[in-house]
Amino acid sequence: MPDSLTRSFANPPAALLERRFDLPDEDATLAFGGRFAKAILAARLARSNTSNTSNERFPGLQVQLIGDLGAGKTTLVRATLRALGHAGRVRSPTYTLVEPYSLATETGPLELYHFDLYRFADPAEWADAGFREYFDAGAICLVEWPQRAGGLLGVPDLEFTLEQEGEGRVLIARAFSETGKSCLESC
């Protein structure tokens, strides 16, 4: 892989906040997804209440989900979507790379994009598919296997690392932006 694609993972920036969550069973992951969904809406609301021009709209949120196959990344995305009011299926975007969701939340419409870049091979695909626009449009972008896109993604607002511990999971969450930090504080 070229340097530009691996750099941000080789030299991660310092986190503004780091928190650890023990998720001993799937219910704990579902509960965390519920708190995270509330935190996203609260962070967006706080932003729209303090900005006085439309140019200062909610900048969106990029969340990178790191962990082996079976670590629970998709489970966490599914829990977040449910808590944001999505009632239908949540497909793993393993082949499509991205699944879009238009959500009607209690605080207004919200666009969410669920990426799984496990099969991502060619950076040109990124530009051709218009993925960049998703990240610039005030949307929530939840990205499984962000390592596969390396530097294309830039530094996320939040990074969630999931690891197996016994029968359960441990989530290490790091915030790299003020939006990410305020979100993580209320999880």
Binding site for ligand ADP (CB under 6 A): 23, 25-26, 28-29, 67, 69-75, 144, 167-169
Closer residue to Mg ion (CB): 73 or 174: 73
Give the shortest CB-33-to-ligand ADP separation in angstroms: 10
**What amino acid is encoded at 149 in this protein?**
A
Considering only the stretches 45-53, 129-137, 140-148, 158-166, report the one whose residues sit in contact with Mg ion under the rule CB under 5 A: 140-148
Q: Which residues, 6 or more positions from 175, have their beta carbon under 8 angstroms from its beta carbon?
A: 15, 16, 17, 18, 157, 158, 181, 183, 184
Closer residue to ligand ADP (CB): 115 or 131: 115
In the list 73, 78, 86, 169, the residue contacting Mg ion (rule: CB under 5 A) is 73
Dist CA 3 CA 8 (whole Å): 9
Give the shortest CB-1-to-Mg ion separation in angstroms: 21
Give the shortest CB-115-to-Mg ion separation in angstroms: 10
Question: How far is residue 17 from each of residues 76, 93, 132, 158, 169, measured CA to CA in Å?
Answer: 20, 29, 26, 10, 20
Could you please report the per-residue DSSP string of 111-123?
A: EEEEEE-TT---H
Q: Which residues bind Mg ion (CB under 5 A)?
A: 73-74, 144
